[in-house]
Structure 1
């Protein structure tokens, strides 16, 4: 399905009238897993932001979660070789937050998690789109239009992206270098009922690609681990004591189901 068609379906149909779920076709299953893997890529880049802050002692002004989101966008745009793939990744991520925003709002404003360390999902969706537009206004003009971002806001996104990129690159500049590949471990714990998520992570080389980026780009002070595991919840996190990023198989399953519930239903 074309990227912008997916996007339009989300924005125009996510709050539509009740629908009846049906079985996915093989093509839809592949697209649903692609959606989940795009989210996994972004999530691991986001956690990489926390890892770099923790391992390199980088200071962060403001909310670290927002800073990690910004770095994830910057790394994907700058270090993903396939142009279409990096754009589709970011669009799927923005779509995912947009869908989740409708669900997380609940019955009203009292149900919003204002105390959470993350910004609201709807804010993260629009912030991601703004970063995309700021980085490449021509490429993402249609995305901004679907998200109903006015021209003045689109123009303001250029400085937003430039400031975020300049700030991160300034902070990371003393730490650019290389880390021996054998100091970055990749571990796949038993996936249990999530064997399809484990298989897709491996097929997409999600953790292997991140390990390669870390090894070739940053001079890390010590060994780090990238782990996929069952966590009992849909989550991902950086553990500074273990020097480890964990991606939970449940998160991949949740995003797969989110696609299925949103896109693959009979009206």
Structure 2
């Protein structure tokens, strides 16, 4: 299941490779020689990588809802762990197709977001954990999956040694739990998807740049295709990109729709620029 779904995340790597070639054609020089184009590509990869994580997070909510999966603990934490599970490499990936780069971008996005919030402003009663905690959860699960490969990453974010000790068992438990609860709903090799996931784009207004980035990357379509052919969905679902009035993403059970807000892409653009200052 994880290997099939990470193909949607790997579509981002394919897109970034195409974007690099396009930039070279436009500017008439090799990508490495065009610092501005290279920086824009890194920023777009950061934005889209975070959107991949958000999509898998929201689809985690959809799985819980559609399949009535048991959730012991806070659902927001559980679906963060679901997204991390899907994007944790199983080994053997080359550098350009390693989905862990998406997780690392997501982790950095949460750390950057945490810098905008003072301690006194944290809403401890919220259904989501604090941004830093969500970042460290990704770091722990990624480190736990392969301590040798991700040891430098764990050191970079200052994951405490005491926390590292429990990460391998935590990563194993997370992986095993999601496989166990989701496996009955995964299509067999000879099964055809009973339902499919459609993608729609709403009017963008002032967020045309964000809408165009999503459409040109075909990222939503890649995720929808992989999820469609992986799960035995009980009804048709939609991934709807639209202007929402806030930087957010939602799973709407009544509408059977994952909503991705153009404003969220704008926020990730600002977070990327924030890290560069």
TM-score (norm: length of structure 2): 0.80
Structure 1's 179 and 62: CA in aligned 2 closer, same or farther, altered over 3 A?
farther
- Bigger drift between 90-99 and 75-84 goes to 75-84
Q: 2:142 aligns with which of 132, 141, 152?
A: 132
Q: 1:168 aligns with which of 159, 162, 178?
A: 178
| Inter-partner Cα distance in structure 2 for 1:239 and 1:175 | 20
| Inter-partner Cα distance in structure 2 for 1:83 and 1:113 | 38
| Inter-partner Cα distance in structure 2 for 1:250 and 1:183 | 26
Partner residue, 2:243: 230
SS of structure 2 residue aligned to 1:217: coil
| Inter-partner Cα distance in structure 2 for 1:25 and 1:261 | 17
Q: 1:189–1:227: 8 Å Cα contact kept in structure 2?
A: yes
Structure 1's 82 and 196: CA in aligned 2 closer, same or farther, altered over 3 A?
farther
- Bigger drift between 36-45 and 177-186 goes to 177-186
Q: Which consecutive residues of structure 1, in runs of 5 or more, have no partner in the other structure?
A: 1-23
Q: State the number of aligned residues.
A: 238
In the alignment, structure 1 residue 26 sits paired with structure 2 residue 37: yes
Partner residue, 1:219: 232
CA-CA distance at 1:167 after TM superposition? 1.0
Higher RCO (C-alpha 8 Å, min separation 6): 1
Q: 1:154 aligns with which of 153, 159, 164?
A: 164
| Inter-partner Cα distance in structure 2 for 1:51 and 1:182 | 14
CA-CA distance at 1:185 after TM superposition? 1.0
Q: 1:184–1:225: 8 Å Cα contact kept in structure 2?
A: yes
| Inter-partner Cα distance in structure 1 for 2:264 and 2:171 | 28
Q: 1:52 aligns with which of 39, 56, 63?
A: 63
Q: 1:6-33 CA distances to partner (integer Å, 9 max, x unpaired)?
A: xxxxxxxxxxxxxxxxxx9333222222
TM-score (norm: length of structure 1): 0.83
Q: 1:194-216 CA distances to partner (integer Å, 9 max, x unpaired)?
A: 22222222333221121122112
CA-CA distance at 1:179 after TM superposition? 6.0
CA-CA distance at 1:78 after TM superposition? 5.4
Structure 1's 82 and 51: CA in aligned 2 closer, same or farther, altered over 3 A?
farther
Q: CA RMSD, aligned part only? A: 2.1
In the alignment, structure 1 residue 246 sits paired with structure 2 residue 259: yes
Q: 2:75 aligns with which of 61, 64, 70?
A: 64
In the alignment, structure 1 residue 206 sits paired with structure 2 residue 216: no
Q: Which consecutive residues of structure 2, in runs of 5 or more, have no partner in the other structure?
A: 1-34
Q: 2:195–2:234: 8 Å Cα contact kept in structure 1?
A: no
- Bigger drift between 49-58 and 73-82 goes to 73-82
SS of structure 1 residue aligned to 2:234: coil
Partner residue, 1:117: 127
Q: 2:196–2:233: 8 Å Cα contact kept in structure 1?
A: no
Q: 1:255 aligns with which of 242, 258, 268?
A: 268
Counterparts of residues 10-21 of structure 1 (less than 5 Å): none
Q: 1:184 aligns with which of 194, 197, 211?
A: 197
SS of structure 1 residue aligned to 2:120: helix
Counterparts of residues 73-112 of structure 1 (less than 5 Å): 73-77=84-88, 84=96, 85-104=98-117, 106=118, 109-112=119-122
